[in-house]
A = this chain, B = another copy of it.
Amino acid sequence: MTKAVNTRTGLEIGAKGPVDKALELLDALVQPDGPHRLADLAAHTGLPKPTVHRLLGTLAANGFATALAGGRYRAGPRLLGLAATALADSPELRLARPVLADLRLRTGQLAHYSVRDGDTAVHLAQSEPADTYRIPLRAGGVVPLHSSAVGLAMLSALPPEEVTAALDSTPLPAVTPHTITDPEAVRAALDDVRIQGFAVDDEYTEPDVRAVAAPVLGADGLPVGAIGIIGPTFTLDDAGVALYGPMVRAAAGLISPSNGGSSPIGLVQ
C-alpha cells in the first residue's frame, strides 16, 4: 500500500540515490515509539526490506544506529551526539532559549521556537510553564504553514511567489473545523499579520487551543523561523491575545538581526 513516499513529510517521490534513502531512514529511526523493527522501518520509508537491512548495517557501522537484541533498532550514540551538537551550536537557538524562557514567564503560556522546512513548520525548542495545561507540542514535530500561528507568521514575511508555492503545493488540509482552507482567506489573514506584526491561530490546529506567533527575520529580511506562545482558549482569550501579541512580536525582534554572516559572539571554546 505504501509507495515510495515519506509518511511524515508526505513528499511525493523524490528519493532516488542511496544517500536520500539513508536520510529517509534516519528520519524514520528517530520517530517516537521506542526501538523500531525492520519491517516497520521498511513500511514507513517505502523501501524494500533488504535495502533497509543493508542501510541499517551501514548506519550501525558508523554509530548512527544501534542494533538491539531481537532485531530492534534505535538511534545510535553518534547520531545522538550529532543531535546534541546541532541543537547546542545553532546560533538562533542559542539566542532563542533565554528569550523563550522570558516570554513564558511574562505570558504564563508555553513559548516555542520553530523554523520552516518547505511548506511545514518544525518545532525546535520550547519553554513550558510549570502548571502546563497539557498542550501537545512535540519537539521535532511538524505542522502545516497555513494552519499554525508560526506558519502564518513565517508566510507573512515571505515574498508572494513563495507564499503561492506553499499554498498551492498542498491541498490545505483542514485539521479542525476552524482551519482556514481557502488560499485567498489565508492571504487575507497574512495582511492582518503584516499590519499587527503577529499571527493568531484560533483553534486551527487543535480544538480549544490558540496560539500567537511572530516571524524571526534574518539579515536579508527573510524569515528564518518564528517564535510563539500556545495556550488553551480560556487562558489565551481575546484579551490575552491583544495583551501578549506585542510581547511575542518584541521577543521575535530580539533574535531577528542575528544570523547574517558569521556569529560575532565569542564561543565558549
Contact = CB atoms under 8 A, between A and B. Distances in A.
Interface of A: 9, 14-15, 17-20, 22-24, 26-27, 30-35, 55, 58-59, 61-64, 69-70, 72, 75-91, 115-118, 122-125, 134, 136, 138-142, 220, 261-263, 267-269
B115 A32 contact: no
| Among A14, A61, A78, A115: residue with most chain B CB under 10 A | A78
Given A22-B19, A62-B23, A30 B80 contact: no
Given A80-B115, A269-B138, A20 B62 contact: yes
Nearest to A76: B117
B81 A117 contact: yes
Contacts of A81: 115, 117, 122-124, 140, 142
Contact of A27 (B78, B80, B87, B268): B78
B138 A88 contact: yes
Contacts of A24: 62
